[in-house]
Structure 1
Amino acid sequence: MCQSILFFTIGVWLLQQQETLPNLTWGAGIVVILGAALIYQRKTSWQQAAAPILAAALACSTGFFYAAFFAQQRLADALPAAWQGKNIQVIGVVAQLPKQHDHGLRFVFDVEKVLTPNATVPTRILLASHEHENGTSFNIHAGERWQFTIRLKQPHGSRNPHDFDFEAWMLENKLRANGYIHPKGNNQRLDTLAYSPGYYIESLREKVRNHILATTAFPSDPHSSLQVRPDTRTMIGDRYDTEENRHYAGVLTALAIGDQASIPAAQWQIFTRTGVNHLMSISGLHITMLSGLGFAAGYWFWRRSARLTRMLPARKAATLAGLLVGLSYALLAGFGVPAQRTVYMLTTIAAVLWLSRTVAPSQTLAAALLVVLLLDPWAVLSPGFWLSFGAVGLIFYVTAHRLRPLHWLATYGRLQWAMSIGLIPPLLGMFQQISLVSPVANAFAIPLVSFVVVPLTLLGAGFHIEWPLWLANQAMSLCYSLLEWLNHLPEVVWVQHAPATWSLIIGMLGVFWLLMPRGFPARWLGMIGLLPMFLVQPPIPPDGALSLVIFDVGQGLAVAAQTRNHALLYDTGPNFNSEANSGNRILIPSLRGMGIAKLDGLMVTHDDNDHTGGAATILQNIPTRWLSSSLAEDHPLLLQAASTQRCMNAQTWEWDGVHFEVLHPSAESYATEKIRDNNRSCVLKISTGQHSVLLAADIEKEAEWELLEQHREKLATTLLVVPHHGSKTSSVDDFVDATHPRYAVFTVGYRNRYGHPNKEVVRRYREAGSELLRSDRDGAIIVNMDAQDFSVERYRKSHARYWHPSITGIPKFKRATTDRVTQMQP
């Protein structure tokens, strides 16, 4: 059974790697043929030898086409392109816990009825509400039925190397469109609570959250990211109104109902760096612990009555009680993948106890794995899926079938060692970092959080009692203080490049070898299997070559240029909200995955949010030798950099045989205050032999004419990042003719409000013979060039998945995965 489920899982995973969905008719035929071959095989020796192969192929094919069938059904529930950005009136239910963002709420909405004639809306969508001009906002709660006027768009996210796939997340969560509530539309609450068990649970979760926040968090701190709506605030006494007691309301909320969004970013960073972030959600350990308490309580109570014992054995009754407690907690927590895995394992164990059967731990884990994938084939896209099942698998691997039982303290130490070593490959593969203090942090955090904080939090939240929440907050304060002390130690986190896939496989084999039972010979050889993940570096450009990534950051600009021994970041994209920007969401993960651990230079072209939004985060997290910019001398960013300089015409340098030259602005322009920031943008040309890239930032017509007067002969380029995102205020005819790019790149946001790029500007570059690229359609543009070759990769095309459809409503230019221009040196 375990082998078949494992191959079924592989089949489901393989489907999620496909660019297009397979033909289900062919798929059904393949499954039938394999099944028939397995059933009707003769008993010859070679056929018996082939039986395991047939069984594996059948299980893998079944998983593959099973996932394909459900993917086809889910993709069919789509928003037509013609209805993007249009007003649509709908009636539906707030399906999940609303979450606070900077200017309102964000929530999942189940559409029950579409009032706008001929409009088609997916059954489940993601909506945002925004504050009105007077500062008020919609008072929306989970489980309520509302009528909204909404504007939607199809799921679309940025596509960059080592970046979060927003479109995959939307598909996994059955969200087939996202948008916002039109503030001037016909918006009204119809019912305070829609009748449905799921909606009732979500409403209960919100009440629990409000109670915890009202008890442990006060809005008097203007810097707190926890905002409690006025209708949920209660005065509970001065003893709670201190920053220390307010500080962990978000953590307690996450532990009670799984709302991790309530945890402030600064705290989450500490938890991640110390390796205890898995505890700040509803983990399998928490559910198992509470289920065990439920079993013990049920067993004690049932045995008190002879009549009850005659009706049903106490062990079976206690098993049912423990399962119900675990299921209730998992439902209250939102029933994520770790919770699902634990509940299904507990259900299997409960069934075994009821049937008086014996089942191996591996079979229990396999049964839970199968149920998770049957209900949610997209679970394999979630890091939590692999970490959750991987962690439990490691626990079984190091504890099951051991000949001599160990003291509980020795067992606990062995498990900590197994988790620390065993999770290195998946953590490096998915996040490119591991906490070096994780074993120490988990040694005290696991018992403190799981056996003190969680029970007290649930006691206070479940019975609306204040003192358990206060005690839980104090215990969390102690835990956090110890974690902060660990975090202040030098080099607490190992950060590196993304390991090659083959090195991760070898690393996992090394882990299994290293964790063999005591007495197994040469276990230390397993450490050798871990080395390739650390030692094998990603490919870097040779001397005289350049690797360039024009990131997809939405409506903004960020470009990374890498030579053999140096790296430059040109602009840093936009700021999204108070806790998210292009730096921490896109650039740092991408640069880290590419193996760029430090920057020799950061060039911030001018003072616009869509170019400077991630700069502060970059300077705080990546060592940077110098900052070059056109920013004012008193700009806050200049105070963060180790060395600063103004970018100006005639600045040149050479890195590893690659030539860099600043063409604009002039030194004299800094004395003229009336020049627009856009026209003082730093313009950079990077050249290798006959090929070059011209980065023009946001210059407009005036700056273009100045460039034509001073550097007309230097403007010809192989690839041009089009000025000002293709705005009509830029790209005059003479500038287009002088640059005459083979490739013209428009860095624009999907359905941006500015209408970039302008149709007339697009026409000019097309008539000039340029190949037109767009970040909203093509994702990141990856360029590799040297004196002879010039190649361009469109990341959205080269890493396409079936949930990444061609974007409609955008002009269809010639497309290819990789283009190559070869030019021989004279």
Structure 2
Amino acid sequence: MRSNILAFAVGVGLLQLQEVLPSWPLLAALLLAALPLLWPPCRRARWGRVLVLLASALLGFSWAALLAGQRLLDQLPAEWEGRDVQVVGVVAALPHGFERGERFAFAVESVETRAAVVPRRIMLSWYHGWLEDEWRDGLKIRPGERWRFTVRLKRPHGNANPLAFDYEAWLFERGLRATGYVRPQAAAQRLDDLVLQPAYVIERLRDHLRQSFSEVLGDAAYAGVLIALAVGDQQAIPGEQWRLFRQTGVTHLMSISGLHVTMVAALIGALVGWLWRCSERLLLAVPAQKAAIAAGWLAAFGYALLAGFAVPAQRTLYMLTVVALALWSGRNLGASRSLLLALLLVLLLDPWAVLAPGFWLSFAAVALLFFVGTARLGSGRGWWGVLAAWGATQWAVTIGTLPLLLLLFQQFSLVSPLANAFAIPLVSFLITPLALLFVVVPWPPLLFLAHELLSVLMSGLDWLAAWPLWEQPAPPWPATVLALMGAIWLLLPRGFTARWLGLCLLLPALFWPAARPARGEAWVEVLDVGQGLAVVVRTADHSLLYDTGPLYSAESDAGQRIIVPYLRAHGVRRIDTLIVTHRDKDHSGGVVAVEEALPIGRRLSSVAELQPEPCVDGQSWEWDGVQFSILHPVAADYERKAARSNNMSCVLQVSSAWGSVLLTADIEARDEQALLARAAARLRSDVLLVPHHGSGTSSTPPFVAAVGAREAIIPVGYRNRFQHPRADVVDRYAGSRLWRTDRDGAVRVRLAAAGLSLSAYRSEYRRYWHGQ
């Protein structure tokens, strides 16, 4: 059975790697091929075991394809993107506030616009603005309410960059098949205060509890953490605190994770078991062990519901369900079988769970604890034995999950074992139970005590955060598999010889070198940051960042969300030159995050507030056989006030023996004319970054002809409000091959000895849910 479940999981995972789903005839053929292989005579054949494993994998593949196909049918037709649609539905989950409004899942019950087609579940944003403030007075959104909205929707779309978060996969897993916003000053009407369905009642309870926590704690520094531990809402935790948690490796503790659900189940089960034994009548009715098991499972179920039934809580609940049923029935399934049955249940209900890093880390952590076993973790009795066992547990989880952390996040905290050693007991056995006790007994001193304990913990984490993180490029799959084998080898029981060889298997993943261009070559990556710009240029020994993308909100920008993770994953530890072309927030929005994350050797910009070296025509330098030249603006432009910040955009040309790239930021027609007048001969380039995202104020025909680019790249956001690029501007590049970041994702340019080449991330990493 164990190998069959693993084969089923492999089949489910293989489906998630497909660019397109198999057709219905092919899917039926796979099922017809799989079922006979499970027939007993086939199982007894010479290759019977292999055939059964193949059948299990085919069943996993087919099951995942069947569910995915059903979900893909529920989509927004392309012709209804960007059009006003009136819908009636229910606020299906806790609204999450952001700087300019609220965002919430909306379950559509009916579509009132004639002929319109809308998915059953969508993600909506309701923006606040000074024009709507008076109109919106008293219209606060709460979960469980039925509303009539006029909305504008678009199909799921996210930024597509190498080794980055896949927002479209996240939406697909949660069944959110369109995103959009409530139209301002259109009809918005609350139809019912509460729709009496279990899911909506629970969400309203969560909203009430969140409000209760906020009223008691007010502006307390760690109120957001306590709310996250009680009801699973992480929105109120500031970015600075998340950064501290990442640096110390305790992020998993600051939300309702599998560990917390398990601990709550264990505490309630132990308490009920103790109380049950105090009553002879109860013992005669039901054994105390079974009562404790039932109470623990009910506590886990209730806590998972309180967490909004988030995916990590679901996985843990399924695992505990398998264990509880086995213990209740008196059967000893064994640790590995219980874990694999939980895995099977998770994949049957949610085959997209394999897309989440938490899936791999949570199952890996539990499997490691089962593997090392309590008997192997320490020897001796009393407190020393407990401490030895606890230390060995931290060692096992740290070493065992290290390869996955390197692959998924390209970093790990060196102080994580020490931080978790005191954070896990404090959070799981004191802080979280106090927060949950307040849910049952709303007595404010309980929260005040929990906050004080959390303050003590944060002080310790502040001290530990001074230690550096281990950061490196993402290792390839072969090195990761080798590292996993090494971790298992290191964790073998005492007595096995040559356990130190496991460390040797870990070394390739720990010290995997970053891929870099050869001398004389340059790699230019135009990142997909939405409606903005960020370009990374790498040579053999140097790195340059050209613009830092947009500012998305007060808490989020392209620097922290896209650029810094990209640089970390590709082994860039220092930016030799940072160019911020001009003042606009879609080009300079991530500059603070980049400066905080990485050392910067030289700053060039036309923005005086950044205190840089001004970028001026005539500046040039050479790195590793690659030439860099600034072509705009001229020194005189700084002496007179430009009409628009776009006119001060720094223009950079990157040239090698195998081609050249012209990066133009947001220059407009007058700047293009000036460049033609003074530097027409220098403009000729093989690749052109289209000026100003393809707006109608740029890309004049003489400029396009002077550059003569074979390849043109338009950095543009999907369905952006400026309607970039303009159709007439696109027509001017008819002689070039056109690339667009909204359609192609990140675009990579290679100026290499093998010749000039371009590739698009979406075509290299396409999955069946992309663009659907």
Match of 2:128 among 119, 126, 131: 131
Contact 2:658 2:751 in 1 (8 A): no
Partner of 2:109: 112
> Could you say what secondary structure the match of 1:494 adopts?
strand
Contact 1:461 1:469 in 2 (8 A): no
5 Å matches for 1:202-221?
Answer: 202-218=203-219
Partner of 1:383: 357
Displacement of 1:389 after TM fit?
Answer: 0.7
Partner of 1:512: 488
Whole-angstrom distance in 2 between the partners of 1:763 and 1:353: 70
User: How big is the alpha-carbon RMSD for the aligned residues of Structure 1 and Structure 2?
Assistant: 1.6
Matched, 1:86 2:83: yes
5 Å matches for 1:122-271?
Answer: 122-133=119-130, 135=133, 137=136, 138-218=139-219, 246-271=220-245
> Could you say what secondary structure the match of 1:152 adopts?
strand
1:43–1:754 CA distance, 2 compared to 1 (3 A): closer
Displacement of 1:353 after TM fit?
Answer: 2.2
Partner of 2:749: 783
Displacement of 1:538 after TM fit?
Answer: 3.2
1:300–1:689 CA distance, 2 compared to 1 (3 A): closer
Contact 1:383 1:430 in 2 (8 A): yes
Q: Deviations over 1:529-572 (max 9, x none)?
A: 11111222132110111111011111111111100001101111
Partner of 1:413: 391
1:35–1:463 CA distance, 2 compared to 1 (3 A): same
1:353–1:645 CA distance, 2 compared to 1 (3 A): same
> Could you say what secondary structure the match of 2:654 adopts?
strand
Whole-angstrom distance in 2 between the partners of 1:300 and 1:343: 23
Q: Give 4+ residue runs of structure 1 displaced > 6 Å after superposition.
A: none
Whole-angstrom distance in 1 between the partners of 2:716 and 2:525: 15
Contact 2:37 2:43 in 1 (8 A): no
1:405–1:323 CA distance, 2 compared to 1 (3 A): farther
> Could you say what secondary structure the match of 2:235 adopts?
helix
Q: Deviations over 1:739-777 (max 9, x none)?
A: 1110111111111111111111111111xx111111111
Contact 1:349 1:364 in 2 (8 A): yes
Whole-angstrom distance in 2 between the partners of 1:274 and 1:385: 21
Whole-angstrom distance in 1 between the partners of 2:643 and 2:125: 38
Displacement of 1:597 after TM fit?
Answer: 1.4
**Counterpart code for 1:251:** V
> Could you say what secondary structure the match of 2:733 adopts?
helix
Partner of 1:795: 761
Displacement of 1:786 after TM fit?
Answer: 2.9
Q: Deviations over 1:577-629 (max 9, x none)?
A: 01111100111111111121111100111111111011111111111101001
380-389 or 405-414: bigger deviation = 405-414
> Could you say what secondary structure the match of 1:692 adopts?
strand
Q: Deviations over 1:6-42 (max 9, x none)?
A: 1111111111111111123323323333332342536
Match of 1:432 among 407, 410, 420: 410
Q: Deviations over 1:166-216 (max 9, x none)?
A: 111110110000111112111111111111111111111111111111111
Partner of 2:48: 51
> Could you say what secondary structure the match of 2:536 adopts?
strand
Partner of 1:809: none
TM-score normalised over the length of structure 2: 0.97
Partner of 1:561: 537
5 Å matches for 1:464-613?
Answer: 464-489=442-467, 491=468, 493-613=469-589
5 Å matches for 1:334-413?
Answer: 334-399=308-373, 407-413=385-391
TM-score normalised over the length of structure 1: 0.90
Contact 1:692 1:717 in 2 (8 A): yes
Whole-angstrom distance in 2 between the partners of 1:299 and 1:37: 46
Contact 1:24 1:65 in 2 (8 A): no
22-31 or 352-361: bigger deviation = 22-31
Contact 1:688 1:787 in 2 (8 A): no
1:709–1:72 CA distance, 2 compared to 1 (3 A): same
312-321 or 719-728: bigger deviation = 312-321
Q: Deviations over 1:423-453 (max 9, x none)?
A: 1111111111100011111111111111110
Matched, 1:298 2:264: no
Partner of 1:77: 74
Whole-angstrom distance in 2 between the partners of 1:311 and 1:676: 82
Displacement of 1:296 after TM fit?
Answer: 2.5
Contact 1:337 1:372 in 2 (8 A): no
Contact 2:717 2:742 in 1 (8 A): yes
Whole-angstrom distance in 1 between the partners of 2:529 and 2:620: 28
**Counterpart code for 1:525:** L
725-734 or 779-788: bigger deviation = 779-788
1:763–1:165 CA distance, 2 compared to 1 (3 A): same
> Could you say what secondary structure the match of 1:262 adopts?
coil
Matched, 1:63 2:63: no
Contact 2:688 2:711 in 1 (8 A): yes
Percent of aligned pairs sharing the same letter: 48
**Counterpart code for 1:157:** G
Contact 1:736 1:764 in 2 (8 A): yes
Unaligned runs of 5+ in 1: 219-245, 639-643, 807-826
Displacement of 1:787 after TM fit?
Answer: 5.5
Match of 2:590 among 607, 614, 624: 614
**Counterpart code for 1:650:** G
Whole-angstrom distance in 2 between the partners of 1:42 and 1:784: 52
Match of 1:721 among 677, 683, 689: 689
Whole-angstrom distance in 1 between the partners of 2:152 and 2:106: 13
> Could you say what secondary structure the match of 1:198 adopts?
helix
> Could you say what secondary structure the match of 2:458 adopts?
helix
675-684 or 653-662: bigger deviation = 675-684
1:363–1:157 CA distance, 2 compared to 1 (3 A): same
Whole-angstrom distance in 2 between the partners of 1:132 and 1:647: 37
Whole-angstrom distance in 2 between the partners of 1:442 and 1:297: 25
Displacement of 1:405 after TM fit?
Answer: 6.4
**Counterpart code for 1:77:** D
Matched, 1:102 2:105: no
